[in-house]
Chain A
Amino acid sequence: MTETQVKGPQAPDRQARRNNASASARSAHVTVIRPATNWPRLDLGELWRFKELLAIFIWRDLKVRYKQTVIGGVWAIFQPVFTALVYTLIFGKFAKFPSGNLPYPVFAFSGVLAWQYFNASLNVASGSLLGNVPLVTRVYFPRLLLPIAGVLTPLIDLMLALVVLVALIAWFHTWPGPAVVLAPFFILLALVTALGSSLILSALNVRYRDVQYVIPVFMQVLPFLSGVPYSLDGAPAKWQWLLSLNPITGVIAGWRWTVLDGPQPVPGQLAVSAGVALTLFVIGVAYFRRSEPRFADTI
């Protein structure tokens, strides 16, 4: 029965395709394939060439996240609001945790916002390779795009939830001072920390699936070490230096300082946090790039 020509949809216009082909021929470049080295280059130029794919990954993750939900993006606001509410009731009203001179609800919500951004970034980015196995084993692109997309996507949720923060600030009259211009810097610090750790964790996760079980345990403890539900100002100075080794401590304190006009963090402690974050980032990039050639073979 297959002898008869089945009338199918028309083939695309050949001439049009030829034209496309000659247009892309002009952009031809030479790709050199050679064995993986122990010290691969970062190759920012290549990352830049793939910027459209990065945008597509972010767009895909946003699209998929709230498909088949009724309230969609509102969930991005609901989650931190609910967490802050629980904190306020339990830690604020009942346990009377210190919140400096700030009203506890706005203190908690601002901390939760920054924390949830970090938490979401780390979770998405560290699982990004395992979450895209078909892509990793079938198509080439710089694998760095996946964890990078993982830490950029939650920024959108953060933006949405900022509306609530502004409303709370207006309600409690805790308007920020001029330091507010530095606020993005602390989100950037959270981003660099999340990306640096995710690069290590996602690459480890390719070989050792244990990583995905360790992360949630660790992330349950971390808010309390980072001063999310309470202020760490009361802690002895030498402990504060130790705590600042955790970059998220710097993120939370700095964020409250800039958006709520909270107490200014000690610059030296901020520098330690930033230094640790940058070190994590550099180690992460190096480890990731070095493991990258083996991802498709081991995942």
Chain B
Amino acid sequence: MPPAVAVEGISKQYRIGQMQPAYGTLRDSLVHGVKRLRSGHLHEPAETIWALRDVSFEAQEGEVIGIIGPNGAGKSTLLKILTRITSPTEGRAEIRGRVGSLLEVGTGFHPELTGRENVFLNGSILGMTRGEIARNFDAIIEFSGVEKFIDTPVKRYSSGMFVRLAFSVAAHFEPEIMIVDEVLAVGDADFQRRSLGRMEDIGDSGRTVLFVSHNLQGILQLCDRTILLKDGRIERHGPTPDVVAYYEQETMGTGPELVWSDPATAPGNDLARLQSVRVVDEDGRTSGTLDVRRPVGIEIAFEVLREGWPIVPKVKLYDQHWAICFNAIDVSPRWHEPTPPGEYVATSWIPPNLLNEGRHQVDADVVTIASPKLIPHASVHQAVAFHVYDPAEGDSARGTFQGQWRGVVRPLLEWTCEER
């Protein structure tokens, strides 16, 4: 089976001028031409940049592929090429099946036309046949919830009604290949919930999806594989959790592992010294992205240099809004006695279904408890970080709910319920 999308060495070059105000006047061009003639340089080398450079990947039928990267990495350019809005400078791509794009919902909506007329107009522009629109018309109207105003010109719609109708049309388009750019960033919470749910449905229905987003949560939830673009090139391409972890470490500077190979520079004092801090999964592997339903281990390796004090490892966890989730120390009796010199590896296990989704930062310390004070011996702020994600398969604390879930923690509680 040939891949649904095969991209081979796609590059796109822009003249700098094209990126700036996109048009000149005829006079500018004439003046410019005359200048060039007089100076004798007919082919003045234009300043150019490569928005995309040698990008290759394949998507099998039914795969959901995420595309992430900082602003200006070339994500939108790639989508514009794959949707044939602009053409590549080099390279080649083959796409099997109809391509639908959700680059912006409501493209082509005309304010003077009624909702009904715009459904047909927008549907055709997206690439639906008239038959398909007619077949889905009732479903589109019902999903949008604007039945009552369907024969009113859309210029009289509230912006919410407008977005709902526009999204509803796009949501009922059924191409084999769906290209989605950041639709989850618009609309209210309810709208975002529904679009995320809709994206999941699209993925489940065996369609091939290319999904560009800055919403790493959504990417982790939806995409099997992810491509990280940077400066127009593919920087990383692989399983989504790996790529997201790499990207977060790159952009935020903190990753799932911190090792001090030189004892001289390791944080600590004459009593104790840190060696490494790692975030590990239940199998002991270093991991920057962890499933919410699995335990998370924070491993602290440290060396005790001389006997005298009880030395206790401690972690402090922050969520993505820098709220402190908790502090934790090892309370086992072994730390009540002065700790003998030697190397120790302590791992604290955060139980499954406790943390909420998102990025978490960890401070790692080794301390001595001298109530009411904690005496730190070695302390590292933001030593490691990891990302908790929920594949939303229904068995986590969010059940089948898709939307935003607030809270510093998100425990899976036991509920009792009796009928009275």
Contacts and interface: CB of A to CB of B under 8 A. Distances in A.
B partners with A: yes
Contacts of B176: 21, 24-25, 28
A28 to B, nearest CB: 4
B174 A9 contact: no
Interface stretch (B187-195, B233-241, B274-282, B303-311): B187-195
B269 interface: no
Interface string A176-210: 00000000000000000000000000000011111
A298 B86 CA distance: 10
Contacts of A13: 139
Contact of A297 (B22, B101, B120): B22
B147 to A, nearest CB: 10
A236 B143 CA distance: 70
A27 interface: yes
Contacts, number: 176
Which 6 pairs show the lowest CB-CB distances between chains A and B?
A140-B84, A293-B87, A28-B97, A33-B93, A210-B26, A12-B139
A63 B85 contact: no
Interface in A127-175: 134-141
A162 B154 CA distance: 34
Interface string B109-126: 010110001001100111
Interface string A99-127: 00000000000000000000000000000
B129 A8 contact: no
Nearest to A60: B121
A67 B101 contact: no
Contacts of A20: 132, 135-136, 174
A139 B89 contact: no
A43 interface: no
B94 A56 contact: no
B411 interface: no
A77 interface: no
Interface residues of B, number: 76
B92 interface: yes
A139 B124 contact: no
A220 interface: no
Nearest to B399: A5
A245 interface: no
A53 B139 contact: no
B23 A296 contact: no
Interface in B12-32: 14, 18, 22-27, 29
Contact of A34 (B23, B92, B124, B140): B92
Given A2-B406, A64-B112, A134-B107, A52 B129 contact: yes
Given A35-B88, A208-B24, A208-B26, A53 B144 contact: no
Interface string B256-284: 00000000000000000000000000000
A100 B145 CA distance: 64
What range describes how many residues of A lie at the interface?
35 or more
Interface in A244-294: 293-294
Contact of A31 (B84, B107, B130, B135): B84
A27 B99 CA distance: 12
Interface string A52-84: 110010001001100110000000000000000
14 contacts: A8-B145, A10-B142, A25-B176, A29-B97, A33-B92, A33-B95, A53-B124, A53-B125, A67-B153, A208-B25, A210-B27, A293-B86, A298-B23, A299-B22
Given A56-B124, A208-B29, A210-B25, A134 B136 contact: no
Contacts of A63: 112-113, 117
Contacts of B401: 3, 5
Which secondary structure characterizes the binding site on chain B?
A: mixed
B94 A298 contact: no
A221 interface: no
Most central of B86, B104, B130 by chain A CB within 10 Å: B86
A2 B23 contact: no
Contact of A209 (B25, B84, B91): B25
A138 B103 contact: yes
A14 to B, nearest CB: 7
Given A3-B406, A9-B142, A64 B110 contact: yes
Nearest to A68: B112
B172 interface: yes
Interface string A1-19: 0110110111111101110
Interface in B197-217: 197-198, 201, 205-207
A56 B207 contact: no
Contacts of A95: none
Interface in B34-69: none
Contact of B120 (A2, A56, A140): A56
Contact of A135 (B93, B108, B136): B108
